[in-house]
Amino acid sequence: MSQNTREYTGLPGRGFKKGGFFAVFRIRARLWLGRDHLLCVYNKKYEEDYKRFYYKDIQAIIIHKTNRAKVWNIIFGIFAAIFAVRITELWPLTGFFLLLMLINRLRGPTCACTLQTAVSKEYLPSLSRLRNAEKAVNRLMPLIEKAQGKLSK
Amino acid sequence: MSSVIINCAKCDTRLPVEIINRPGFTSCPGCGVPVKVHVFPALYRQTGTVKTGEGLLTDNEAGCFFHPAKKAVIPCDICGRFLCSLCDIEFNDQHLCPSCLEAGKKKRKIRNLENNRVLYDNIALSLSVIPLLFIWPTIITAPASIYFSIRHWRSPSSIIPRTKVRFILAGFFAIIQIAGWAMFITYI
């Protein structure tokens, strides 16, 4: 019950949760490690929503690879090609889209991460890059194993 | 492990036991997407039986505050009322009665029950910055921003670590705008 605000440490990865169709602001999501639970923070600009997953209740973490990074690279590539070939006066835009492609490439492959408990399955929007998801799971697993014990083979 | 039920997050196909807790990715038999599953002992835990509370056997035994016919097993860690196993709520390593839990949630005394907070610092900053685009509304929004910054300086902000820098920036921008308006009015 103390008001100590340093009890959470951030996990890598930030993402956006799908809001309503008319949502003005996108909902930013981030994960934080607490003493006995994982805190999922949804930032709606003027307020925050919290979801807590206690380490003792987490049953499984499921990661599957997605093609989102490849799709975006194709879209950026098409725009870069259009500005390079058809509208040569706007050549800086070609560079801009190539830069976006490079950033997307450097951020690595994409994935979707789902956390399962006995009563819910929660999609974790902040773990949308495989590198971040692996790092987060590696930091999360010892805490879950500490709360639940190790699984025998 | 044969009774484990883990479904693919994409196609909802039941995943075979062989691909669970493997170091690398394995293709889902349903959709073929590479999938990696980390499973923990909570998946195999049996769901607990419902506690009903034991009835009083003799007159010497203490009864529950909420159910006098049931045997008290533990006192509430906050109010000290005797509780039967039905009323005993274990939360944050404490044993609480339902009324203390409810009061704790309403008065925001139990942090782990809070699932929403208003970010007053973001409101104050938006009040001092966004109306700048239209200039005229700042005559109202700049004092409002200062009011928000002072009124909610000590209000609970985000649960996660957060500084007061937004309040400071909001106050700074609002003071500049008020000074600008003062100069404009004296010039007229």
Q: What's the pLDDT tens digit per position in B126-138?
A: 999 999 999 889 9
Mean pLDDT value of segment B52-64: 77
Residue B168: which pLDDT band, with cuts at 50, 70 and 90?
very high
Q: Is residue A86 located within the same domain as residue A122?
A: no
Q: Which residues of B fall within a CB distance of 8 Å from A137?
A: 38
Instruction: Decide if A62 touches B, using CB distance below 8 A.
Output: yes
Q: How far is A87 from chain B (nearest CA, A)?
A: 33
Q: Is residue A95 located within the same domain as residue A119?
A: no
**Beta-carbon separation of A60 and B37 below 8 A:** yes
Mean pLDDT value of segment B3-9: 77
Q: How far is B66 from chain A (nearest CA, A)?
A: 25
> In this structure, which amino acid lies at residue B125?
L
Which of A136-150, B107-121, B172-186 has the weakest average pLDDT?
Answer: B107-121
Q: Is residue A22 located within the same domain as residue A55?
A: yes
Torsion angles phi and psi, residue B9, rounded to 5? -70, -15
SS3 A143: helix
Q: Is residue A51 located within the same domain as residue A100?
A: no
Facing residues of A110 across strands? A129
- Token digits of residue B2: 């044969």
Residue B50: which pLDDT band, with cuts at 50, 70 and 90?
low
Q: Is residue A74 located within the same domain as residue A61?
A: no
Residue B144 has pLDDT above 90, yes or no: yes
Q: Is residue A117 located within the same domain as residue A59?
A: yes
**Beta-carbon separation of A5 and B47 below 8 A:** no
Query: What is the pLDDT, as a whole number, of residue B88?
Result: 86
Q: Is residue A23 located within the same domain as residue A60?
A: yes
A107: nearest Cα among A79, A124, A127: A127
DSSP string, B9-35: TTT-PBPPGGGBT-SS-EE-TTT--EE
**Beta-carbon separation of A58 and B40 below 8 A:** yes
**Beta-carbon separation of B40 and A151 below 8 A:** yes
Query: What is the pLDDT, as a whole number, of residue A1?
Result: 43
Nearest CA in chain A to B47: A118
Query: What is the pLDDT, as a whole number, of residue B152?
Result: 93
Rounded Cα distance, A37 and A54, in Å: 4
Q: Is residue A61 located within the same domain as residue A116?
A: yes
Burial of A58: CB neighbours in 10 Å, binned 0-12, 13-18, 19+: buried
Q: For each of the domains in chain B, give its residue range(s) and CATH number, in order of start.
A: 1-48 (no CATH), 49-112 (3.30.40), 120-187 (no CATH)
Residue A23: which pLDDT band, with cuts at 50, 70 and 90?
low
Q: Is residue A98 located within the same domain as residue A114?
A: no
Question: Has residue A59 been placed in a domain?
Answer: yes
Q: Is residue A57 located within the same domain as residue A74?
A: no
Query: What is the pLDDT, as a whole number, of residue A85?
Result: 82
Residue A20: which pLDDT band, with cuts at 50, 70 and 90?
low
Residue B1 has pLDDT above 70, yes or no: no
Which domain range does residue A30 map to? Answer: 9-66+110-127
Interface of B with A in 27-46 (CB under 8 A): 28, 33-43
Question: Has residue A46 been placed in a domain?
Answer: yes
pLDDT top residue among B92 and A55: A55
Q: Is residue A89 located within the same domain as residue A20?
A: no
CB A102 within 8 A of CB A38: no
Instruction: Decide if A148 touches B, using CB distance below 8 A.
Output: yes
Question: Has residue A135 been placed in a domain?
Answer: no
Residue B10 has pLDDT above 90, yes or no: no
Block residue for tokens 């902000």: B157
Query: What is the pLDDT, as a whole number, of residue A68?
Result: 92
- Token digits of residue A139: 């930091």
